[in-house]
Structure 1
Amino acid sequence: MDRRAQRVVGLVGVISVALIGLLGGRVDLWSSSARPAQAGTASAQAAGLGEAEGLQSAFQRIAEQAGPAVVSISTEQIERVRQYFRFHPFFGEEPFEDFFRQFYGDQPEREFRRFGLGSGVIIDPEGFILTNEHVVADAEKITVTLADGREFTGAVKGKDPRSDLAVIKIDAKSLPAAPLGDSETVQTGQWAVALGNPFGLMGVGPSVRAMGAEPTLTVGVISALNRSLPRASPKYDRDYSGLIQTDAAINPGNSGGPLLNLRGEVIGINVAILTSSRGFEGIGFAIPINKAKIVLDTLKEGKKVIYGWLGIQIQDITDDVAEYYGLTDREGVLVYQVLPDSPASQAGLKDGDIVKAFDGQPIRHSRELIDRVSQTKAGRRVSVEILRDGSRQTLQVEIGERPLDVELAEGGATEAWRGLRVSGLSPEQLEQFNLPPGTTGVLVVDVAAGSLAEQAGLRPGDVINEINRARIESVSDYRSAIAQVKGNALVRTNRGYVVIKAVGG
């Protein structure tokens, strides 16, 4: 028996002894003089039972009313891979793969079908479904199964990797839609209900069409608000901030499903769990529905979600920073880097400035500034109040459009070129990919299946340090180099030279 089991058993033992003691004592108390107390206890128990049954009815009502609006989403993606002799589980892949490519040439690609499962919630009777972007990203086929068992082919109407939200559309009418609540009113400690398709339990196939596909309902509380998660990969520019934390069970397959309050209103879209075992350990997260509302209409219309951008790196003000600057409080954010040629740079912001207000609204911390800038329309001029050298100044900034890649500010990857996406090299990535200290260049973070870059033999983890003899030491160098490429490109990597052709062969 492990230590955790011993602790549980120990607690059960203590509780059992306590109950036995109470029951034993009650035998002595059941005398004629104690009968009024017995009546009072029975009344209290009846009241408690009534409250529990009321709560139970609320959960049942949610299952009946919101359950039909929850869908199962299954995806299919084709991956194309060139395979050589597979010695790499024991000896390492690279030397043998290069050897066989040299003597036998490129081998034919093999196709593998990759399947995924997730959840979604109907938000419009006309067939619009809200889910996570990562549920449908790169999917070549999407199948949506309703709670009544009907299956439809889904199409991505709009998606936004940064918010990790997407809207898919099915050809159906008069569907049950879940009402959207107000996540600003959510409080820690209130009840929370998660609905979804964990581990694909809603099912697919003839039996589901005949019997229906009831979603799984789990119950918990709101554990905390405004949680933030680190980015899982430099490939994805996701903003996992301001999340709702819950202990309602969320498991693989729940992604994209709704988190609801006791009124059956959607207060969040389940997105992630923290776990050491791939199973649920009581820590799940949901995107607040108010955050989804900001981009919802844009996604339904199939348009690109555009975020405002200043082009600065910021941090919250610590006690040490406040003391250094002679501040009486810690409100505001410290600018520690202004990106060149950014809106902030053009407006005159400098490293070391403290932003105290944005567009007339006070700024207390970095999350507040990031959210307000992101939600400001590109091209709009706003005032930014700063503290510089002890004096307040007001600058006018024209908000820019957030680029696909914000290498310095966010560590994101560049837009695809010939199927290739790269990012700058960080010390953590040097260690992660076992690269020698001092390695320069840009890191390949994604190679699209079947792309020109894949045909050339590039793969994630490669480091590019030269393109057509032009030295590459940063993403800026990379952009400049690919802008000059007209035909085939000679690319030097940490594994040698490859040629990325202009036309596939």
Structure 2
Amino acid sequence: MDHGWQPRDPERGGGRGAALLLVVALAIAGFLGFRADLLDAFTGPERVPAEVAPPAPPLDPAAVAAAVGPALVNIAVTLRPFGAAAAGSGIVLGADGEVLTSHHVIKGAETVLVTDVGTGVEYSAEVLGYDATADIALLALTGAGGLPTARLGSSARLRLRDEVLALGNAGGVGGTPTAVAGRVTDLNSTIVAQNSADLSRLALRGMVEVAAAVTAGQSGGALADRNGDVVGVITAASGQSGEPVPAGRVPNGYAVPIDRAMKVVQQIRAGVSAGTVHVGPTATLGVLISDAADGARLDVVLYGTPAWNAGLADGSVVVAVDGRPIADAKALRAEIDARRPADVVRLEVLENGGRRVVEAVLTESPPR
């Protein structure tokens, strides 16, 4: 979530921070120069018809926290490029250490360290896959076994004014998850969010909005219903980092519906990189790119990277990958994201008025 859009998009992206996406009002995003392709797609909050459930027993925060808390983990990551650190939360799906979290928690991570909140045992983690556009990632903990697992509900059963509980690693300080209760105020929110770690923006649709003071570090944590079933993955909060909420205004939290999150998980489990879902290690060409009239311009070719080793230079324009035309930076990024480290790609480039084809051997990078 950035405070000013940079003119070029990195093909990949001090101090310890707690991961959270902060919601940016669409009007403000436009003023800051937010990319037109996202503004065209998101013109304002989308609402679904009110479906107010009959009165139900009140949610018992202590009971729900006791049921869900043992199946949560705290996540700490070190980030590229300067060794910064960030923290977030995760939801244990499998006793062998399969963990669901937010993509922005592990974006750019060099290392991922996960702590079982119940036992304090630490595990290193591998990123199995992710969908950046859905803000969902799946991890595997090395050497884990016998972990308590979350009981999943269905976000399709949520109704307006349902009481829910948001649980996660508030402040990124570790220890017992912090729980905040609130009511569902929207079932289909459209938001533009800003990542406090790398200052990138993300547009998200179909979010569950909750009138609750979700805070940094709870990203990747659980949104649970009164039965202790996980119905969402916490991903964002309203307001700007460090700013107090105006008097009389209730802060909002936002969560990815669990039904949608599990669709991404199922695709990752199937090992299929398709659409916006990336499975396995992330490959990189090692360039910063932007749109060009004929393709994707290499604004910066980083020293020692596959692009550098292939003899490419700043200003070259990639017009095809393995014979497939490249229309813009987004298309080049999608082609590279579909590859694996050590894959060889044939790049057709325009340079100094001429055209040539070069081969580059991709290397591994942190999740993008």
Bin for the TM-score computed over the shorter chain = 0.5 to 0.7
The answer as to 2:177 corresponding to 1:215 is: yes
Q: Which has the higher strand share?
A: 2
Which residue pairs with 1:253 in the alignment? Answer: 217
TM-score (norm 1): 0.46
Which residue pairs with 1:136 in the alignment? Answer: 106
Tell me if structure 1 keeps the 8 A contact 2:167–2:177: yes
The answer as to 2:192 corresponding to 1:230 is: yes
Which residue pairs with 1:164 in the alignment? Answer: 135
Which residues of 2 match residues 341-380 of structure 1 at below 5 A?
none
Identity of aligned pairs, percent? Answer: 28
SS at structure 2 position matched to 1:251: coil
* Equivalent residue for 2:265, pick from 260, 282, 296: 296
Give, as a single letter, the amino acid of the residue that structure 1 aligns with 2:238: L
Which residues of 2 match residues 171-190 of structure 1 at below 5 A?
171-190=143-162
* Equivalent residue for 1:424, pick from 267, 283, 291: 291
Q: 1:288 to 1:447 in 2, by over 3 A?
A: farther
* Equivalent residue for 1:118, pick from 59, 73, 88: 88
The answer as to 2:318 corresponding to 1:451 is: no
Which residue pairs with 1:146 in the alignment? Answer: 116
Give, as a single letter, the amino acid of the residue that structure 1 aligns with 2:264: V
The answer as to 2:164 corresponding to 1:192 is: yes
Gaps of 5+ in 1: 1-53, 80-111, 203-212, 308-401, 405-414, 426-438, 493-499
Tell me if structure 2 keeps the 8 A contact 1:447–1:454: yes
Which residue pairs with 1:306 in the alignment? Answer: 274
Distance 1:447 1:197 in 2: 38
Gaps of 5+ in 2: 1-56, 246-250, 320-325, 333-345, 363-368
CA deviations over 1:98-117 (Å, ceiling 9, x no partner): xxxxxxxxxxxxxx312111
Tell me if structure 1 keeps the 8 A contact 2:103–2:131: yes
Give, as a single letter, the amino acid of the residue that structure 2 aligns with 1:484: E
CA RMSD of aligned residues (A): 4.2
CA deviations over 1:251-270 (Å, ceiling 9, x no partner): 11111111111111111001
Tell me if structure 1 keeps the 8 A contact 2:318–2:347: no
Tell me if structure 2 keeps the 8 A contact 1:273–1:280: no
CA deviations over 1:7-28 (Å, ceiling 9, x no partner): xxxxxxxxxxxxxxxxxxxxxx
Which residue pairs with 1:388 in the alignment? Answer: none
Which residue pairs with 2:255 in the alignment? Answer: 286
Tell me if structure 2 keeps the 8 A contact 1:125–1:174: yes
* Rg larger in structure: 1
Q: 1:490 to 1:267 in 2, by over 3 A?
A: same
Which residue pairs with 1:276 in the alignment? Answer: 240
Give, as a single letter, the amino acid of the residue that structure 2 aligns with 1:63: A
Q: Which has the higher helix share?
A: 1
Which residue pairs with 1:72 in the alignment? Answer: 74
Count of residue pairs the alignment pairs up? 271
Give, as a single letter, the amino acid of the residue that structure 2 aligns with 1:261: D
SS at structure 1 position matched to 2:147: coil
Q: 1:77 to 1:59 in 2, by over 3 A?
A: same
CA deviations over 1:297-346 (Å, ceiling 9, x no partner): 22235x23434xxxxxxxxxxxxxxxxxxxxxxxxxxxxxxxxxxxxxxx
CA deviations over 1:228-281 (Å, ceiling 9, x no partner): 123759x98966111000122211111111111111111100111221344574
Q: 1:453 to 1:145 in 2, by over 3 A?
A: same
Tell me if structure 2 keeps the 8 A contact 1:66–1:178: yes
The answer as to 2:226 corresponding to 1:262 is: yes
* Equivalent residue for 2:61, pick from 59, 62, 74: 59
SS at structure 2 position matched to 1:140: strand
CA offset at residue 421 of structure 1? 5.2
Distance 2:299 2:69 in 1: 39
Which residues of 2 match residues 374-393 of structure 1 at below 5 A?
none
Bigger relative CO (Cα 8 Å, ≥ 6 apart): 2
